[in-house]
Each structure stands twice: as C-alpha cells, then as structure tokens.
C-alpha cells in the first residue's frame, strides 16, 4: 500500500476485465504513435482480449495491477526466463495515459524489481520499441543498459533489449 495506491496480483474475473481496459488504453497510445496495428503486431498488448490475457496468464507469469482508490490505473508482469532461471523479464509495464508522469511507473518498477529480487534472480531484462527514445531514457534512469537491438520478421519495429543486474538486499 502506498498512500491511496495499492499493488496486488491479478486474480479475479473483474481484475481481468479491468486489466484488458488498462492495457488497451495504455499500449494503444504507443501503437498509434508507432503505426502498430493488430494486422502487423497481433500480440501487442494494445490488442489484448480476455482470451489472449488468459493464455498469457497460463504461462509462468506473475501479473500485478496498480490500483488507486479502487480503480486499476497500471500494471506490470514478471516472467522467469525459460533458458536461465536467474534471469527474469519485466513485461507489460503500463500506466493509463491520464496518470502518466506522476511516479506510478516507477512505483510499478520498484515493486516488480522487489518481487524479482525475492525470487533470487541475478538479472532483469526488458524488450521495447527501439525508436521509443523517451521510454529508453526512462529505463536508463532505472539502471538498465542496452544489450542488443534486433529485427523480428513478425514485428513492424526494431526491438531494443535492455538489462540490469540485481543487487541483493542486505
């Protein structure tokens, strides 16, 4: 609990519907900005449905919602690497447009990092649209460094991968 903010695991059907709305609204602005459509990037969170969300949750993903006065305004997911158990991914970090630039993204990032640290991971990794320099710079302020950029045939943008080593709490 942070003031009138609370972060908790997504579990109920009501949470699923709220999360779909948050993702569609949050990632929708990015999709519009970068020309992402359901045709050229159907797995983009801007186009999530209840069915797609349930399939995503069926993987080893922990998904959390940020609530303010009972309304979900943001989310974040953490997922272990299938190749390396000491690596975790932060995914689906989002805040609804009208609540951006008020520290909610940082709150979600800190929460995700704490959960990942508790799981004993040594590294956290993210993937993002390489052209999104504002977001890239934000991640750099959180200690992330670019590791590689890659073009995928099924995506209309270059993906920038960033990572950060995790320092255990003493």
Paired sense of beta strands 87-95 and 123-129, if any: parallel
Determine the Cα–Cα distance for residues 54 and 132; give it in Å rounded to an integer. Answer: 28
Residue 22 has pLDDT above 90, yes or no: yes
Length of the chain: 170
pTM assigned to the model: 0.91
* pLDDT of residue 168 exceeding 80: no
pLDDT category, 50, cuts 50, 70, 90? very high
- 5-165: what CATH class? alpha beta
Spatial separation of the C-alpha atoms in residues 156 and 145, rounded to whole Å: 23
The alpha carbons of the chain give a radius of gyration, in whole angstroms, of: 15
CA-based nearest residue to 88, from 74, 99, 103, 76: 76
Q: Over the stretch 61-82, which tens digit does the pLDDT of each residue have? A: 999 999 999 899 999 999 999 8
Residue 141 has φ and ψ, to the nearest 5°, of -65, -20
Helices (H) then strands (E): counts for the chain: 4, 7
Residue boundaries of the structural domains of the chain:
5-165
What is the largest distance, in Å, between two alpha-carbon atoms of the chain?
48
């Amino acid at each position: 609990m942070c003031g009138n903010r609370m972060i908790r695991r997504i579990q109920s059907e009501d949470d699923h519907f709220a999360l779909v709305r948050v993702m569609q609204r949050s990632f929708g602005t990015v999709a519009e900005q970068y020309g992402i459509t359901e045709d050229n990037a159907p797995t983009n969170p801007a186009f999530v449905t209840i069915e797609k969300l349930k399939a995503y949750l069926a993987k080893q993903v922990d998904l959390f919602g940020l609530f303010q006065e009972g309304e979900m305004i943001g989310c974040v997911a953490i997922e272990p690497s299938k190749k390396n158990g000491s690596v975790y991914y932060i995914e689906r970090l989002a805040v609804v447009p009208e609540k951006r630039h008020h520290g909610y993204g940082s709150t979600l990032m800190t929460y995700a990092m704490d959960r990942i640290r508790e799981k004993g991971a040594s590294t956290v990794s993210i993937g993002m649209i390489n052209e999104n320099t504002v977001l890239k710079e934000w991640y750099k302020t959180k200690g992330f460094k670019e590791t590689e950029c890659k073009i995928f045939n099924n995506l209309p943008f270059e993906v920038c991968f960033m990572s950060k080593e995790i320092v255990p709490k003493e």
